[in-house]
Amino acid sequence: MAFEYAPAPESRAVVDIAPSYGLFIDGEFTEAAEGKVFKTVSPSTEEVLSEVAQASEADVDRAVKAARRAFEKWSALPGSERAKYLFRIARIIQERSRELAVLETLDNGKPIKETRDADLPLVAAHFFYYAGWADKLDHAGFGATPRPLGVAGQVIPWNFPLLMLAWKIAPALATGNTVVLKPAETTPLSALFFADICRQAGLPKGVVNILPGYGDTGAALVAHPDVNKVAFTGSTAVGKEIARTVAGTRKKLTLELGGKGANIVFDDAPIDQAVEGIVTGIFFNQGQVCCAGSRLLVQESIHDELLESLKRRLSTLRLGDPLDKNTDIGAINSAEQLARITALAEQGAEEGAERWSPACELPSSGYWFAPTLFTNVTQAHTIARDEIFGPVLSVLTFRTPDEAVAKANNTQYGLSAGIWTEKGSRILAVANKLRAGVVWSNTFNKFDPTSPFGGYKESGFGREGGRHGLEAYLDV
């Protein structure tokens, strides 16, 4: 018999969300020039969490000017002093991590288990890592005394709001740049709380500016003539638009875009571990992960056995209240994203793939999508080609390693891939041939501040993390 779980909700009381937030410019919260605001809701309940100022072009200009003013002093600080500010920020994030984890779960919809055990520890670690670089840049392999670029315009997505902020801000500040950052319109709150952390850390005003807004705010930031560096994480379509915008300028550009990662399981793989890796690969963060293993390539001889295990495992996943510590699958981030996932899944069925989901009750309010897998998928199917960015796995088969590699690489993307086999030489041979920036072998979706992350082909260019991540913010 199966034991029932008692509810184990994390307390909301640890976070105090104000009814409204302004833009964070030059060290102050201020209203938007045009007075516009937008609401941010909790995706699991559709409850309005707060009302947030929406930055316009005039606000972008104000923020860029503040960042420019701050740049002179900030970049001239000894690296060891910049380092200490970043160490302070890292420590304050650790101190406030429970509050921030709950906040992130409320605003994003992902399970508290993930914000608590993955997002927040990685956020703090990222600031610690780059803090240590600030006074060691001469030794980073980019020449003696490499110079910062100036003002960095950064636009981040909603799937890992605070973690993507950390990936952008930590290396930018360590190298002496100042920052104007636009969080996603559905998840602005953790970035605004970060503004408060900057205040607590005593960070000089103007070094970090936070501008909540929609796509037009991001477009204005990217196009601003006094921005020296553009960093974007988001969709490939928007990434291409940004690349066109900065064409012909001296703005340095890094792009972290979409993916359609192949997770390849060979017939000698340890099935139980592989099943866990497949689940992590596509259902972590409801599959709203650019490096998700959204295409399962399984060797034909073990297809049935693996699918049986996988289905059994999916039946044990717990979907529901993201604040419950036992929840595995939280809410989809927005109604818009839910509509996109729903439409693509329907298309998968229409095109002839076989759809399966475990028995799973969806809450009556909020944005929810049951874990879903498709079998009998071919490479021509839309669900094998387009990034779904949701908890939907497409299962394809192969017979030989060469076929696996060819199928894995048959995509416009090139962000991640997974390999499951007990044979070491096969791992290395296959890893060598995969055109992807991150290859997880016998594991999946692992991240670390020391480990460079980024894509091949239309998954973008530039790397975040590690020594490599410094290059994006240095004049080299």
Q: Could you list the residues that contact other proteins (CB under 8 A)?
A: 125, 141, 143, 236, 239-241, 243-244, 247-248, 250, 255, 257, 273, 412, 427, 431, 434, 436-443, 446, 448, 450-454, 456-458, 460-461, 463, 466, 468, 476
Q: CB of residue 400 vs other proteins: minimum separation in angstroms?
A: 17
Q: Is 290 one of the annotated active-site residues of the chain?
A: yes
Q: Look-up: residue for tokens 């066109």?
A: 244
- Compare residues 202 and 248 and give the one whose CB is closer to other proteins: 248
Is the separation of the CB atoms in 260 and 385 below 8 Å? yes
Q: Which is nearer to other proteins, 366 or 454 (CB)?
A: 454
**Minimum CB–partner distance for residue 449 and other proteins (Å):** 8
Give me the least distance between CB of 423 and other proteins, in Å please: 12
Interatomic CA distance for residues 91 and 200, integer angstroms: 11
CB nearer to other proteins: give 51 or 241. Answer: 241
**Which residue, 65 or 113, is less far from other proteins as judged by CB?**
113
Nearer to other proteins, 143 or 352 (CB): 143
* Active-site residue, 256 included: yes
Q: Report in angstroms how near the CB of residue 43 gets to other proteins at its nearest.
A: 30
| Nearest-approach distance from CB 133 to other proteins, in angstroms | 14
Catalytic one of 10, 114, 185, 256: 256
Tokens 């009998």 appear where? 376
Do 390 and 286 meet the contact criterion of CB atoms below 8 Å apart? yes
| Cα–Cα distance measured from residue 104 to residue 188, given in angstroms and rounded to the nearest whole number | 10
Tokens of 7: 């509810």
Closer to other proteins by Cβ: residue 25 or 257: 257
CB 253, CB 92: distance < 8 Å: no
Active-site residue identified among 10, 114, 290, 291 = 290
Give dist(CA 328, CA 319) in Å, integer: 6
Q: How far is the CB of 458 from other proteins (least distance, A)?
A: 5
Token pair, residue 450, equals 């020391």
Contact 102/14 with Cβ under 8 angstroms?
A: yes
For residue 243, the one-letter residue type is A
In whole angstroms, the minimum distance from the beta carbon of 461 to other proteins comes to 5
Nearer to other proteins, 157 or 414 (CB): 414
Nearest to 103 by CA among 16, 24, 25, 230: 16
The backbone torsions φ and ψ at residue 195, rounded to the nearest 5 degrees and listed phi first, read -60, -40
Q: Could you list the active site residues?
A: 256, 290
